[in-house]
Amino acid sequence: MSDHIAFVLNGRPVTATGASPAMTLLDWLRGSARLTGTKEGCAEGDCGACTVVLEDATTERGGPCAPVNACLLMLGQIHGRAVRTVEGLRGADGTPHPVQRALAEGDGTQCGYCTPGIIMSMYAFAVGGEPAQPELIHDALAGNLCRCTGYRPIVEAMARVAQLPEARIAAAATVAASMPEVPAGPVFRTAAPAGQPDGARFDVPATMDALLALRRDHPDAWLLAGGTDLGLRVSHDREVPAHVVYVGRVPELQVIAATPGRLRIGAAASYARLLPQLDGALMPFGAMVRRLGSRQIRAMGTIGGNLGTASPIGDTLPVLLALGASVHLRSAANGTRAVAIDDYFVGYRRTALRADEIIEAVEIEVPARDEIFHVDKVSKRRDQDISAVLGAYRLRIDGGIVRAARLAFGGMAATPARARQAEAALVGRPWSDATVAAAAAVMEGDFQPVDDWRGSARYRQVVAGNLLRRLHVRVTRPDVALEIDRL
């Protein structure tokens, strides 16, 4: 068992000796490695100035390089992986990469501080060979804030590099040739060197059994999946975890299995990997996930993490509630048990997960063709924002009568929750303006939301009711324009 974190950095194998496995990749890059091109703008995964790419990860569009936030990744997570930073883009002869030239020549920089992160997002976009559609360009930029330019020259430079074949350097090939040997064995374990105050133990189990044993024996250890929430405690709050168990290398947790009518999502599969599966009847879910965080966040974040955190504003959770998902929990002692999503949330950030259990998967039933399924996310900003209100609905209308209704909301209560009174007001009644108005009215009794910076309690109440009205218009009056993004 090796205790050195080894990975590929800009095409060359490196060993992070003397570094704590729970420190962030960003701190390591800017500190020990003295690679200061990658910037810290916020240390909370929102500004994108720290964007680097994981060259051995697949993007949500099937590209070879996924952008990630170096401020949220713990060093232990990238053991055995391949990372490229802005310093690793120049050609062997020192010529700048085409994306670097395109942005500079297109007046796409002003103060330059966000620029290295934008360059890495552009690089991932260009290497992925995506077409120069505005929609995709904005998707690729949603995780990068620029305060100077107003973005127009950046968007235009992205469009230009998308059409430059030389922008696609054969990253994957160079990576494969230089990948470090990842030690075999059920668990890779590393810890901060003795004497360091920030000593953390970091376990990377490679098998389900090893993970379950660690969970049983160390119930207080952090269970780390993508790190987009837990990573904040290190990056932003500067906490030093005593013990981290990283679940990302257990093969079973990565499996996404689609069978007719059902979708089983491994708890540690990233949103980026999940997204291509969310089509067909699940398209509204996919449309929402495309607005969940940014590409950087989606390359890291997982549905298991969302379930584990169980935040009242976790974006996938109302969707799982509306779909009537089942959550598969597993322990060494008792194997797997399936918990209905309705029974999973037991209080503010508290769930049915027991101290020795891990979340294995979530399974959803794909809505039938004749069912209504829709998801709405309402936030201050279109991209990379946390919802003020998120609504997800699954209804069955038969002969003009509502036969079944599941209406679930985020941002309305201490947990993601269903609007039970509103559901009752719909079921058995005609799918009409009057029924919808009555259901929207009683929905005010379903929730006591709070006032905060995302919206007042009153606003949330009004919006939740209006989302139901909007759903009715959507279903019954296809002639009415509802998509502000399509104007």
**For residues 111-130, which are near another protein according to CB under 8 A?**
111-116, 119
Which of 20, 326 has the CB closer to another protein? 20
Site for another protein in 454-473 (CB under 8 A): 454-456, 459, 462-463, 466-467, 469-470, 473
With a CB cutoff of 8 Å and minimum separation 6, the contacts of 222 are 230, 241, 243, 244, 245
* 153 is a contact residue toward another protein (CB under 8 A): yes
* 375 is a contact residue toward another protein (CB under 8 A): no
User: Residue 325: which H helix or E strand, with range?
Assistant: none
Tokens of 100: 């670097």
Query: What 3-state class would DSSP assign to 39?
Result: coil
Which of 105, 343 has the CB closer to another protein? 105
Nearest approach in angstroms of CB 186 to another protein is 32
Which of 210, 375 has the CB closer to another protein? 375
Beta strands 357-365; 326-331: pairing state: antiparallel
Which of 144, 316 has the CB closer to another protein? 144
Which of 112, 280 has the CB closer to another protein? 112
Query: What 3-state class would DSSP assign to 171?
Result: helix
* 42 is a contact residue toward another protein (CB under 8 A): yes
Which of 45, 241 has the CB closer to another protein? 45
- CA atoms of 334 and 337, how far apart (whole Å): 8
Site for another protein in 388-447 (CB under 8 A): 388
Nearest approach in angstroms of CB 241 to another protein is 13
Nearest approach in angstroms of CB 224 to another protein is 19
- Asked if residues 17 and 268 have their Cβ atoms less than 8 Å apart, the reply is no
Tokens of 373: 């399924």
Beta strands 12-15; 187-191: pairing state: unpaired
Considering only the stretches 56-64, 137-145, 170-178, 263-271, report the one whose residues sit in contact with another protein under the rule CB under 8 A.
137-145
Tokens of 118: 């934008």
* 288 is a contact residue toward another protein (CB under 8 A): no
With a CB cutoff of 8 Å and minimum separation 6, the contacts of 217 are none
Considering only the stretches 95-103, 213-221, 243-251, 270-278, report the one whose residues sit in contact with another protein under the rule CB under 8 A.
95-103
Which of 198, 365 has the CB closer to another protein? 198
Identify which of 78, 65, 84 has the alpha carbon closest to the alpha carbon of residue 21: 78
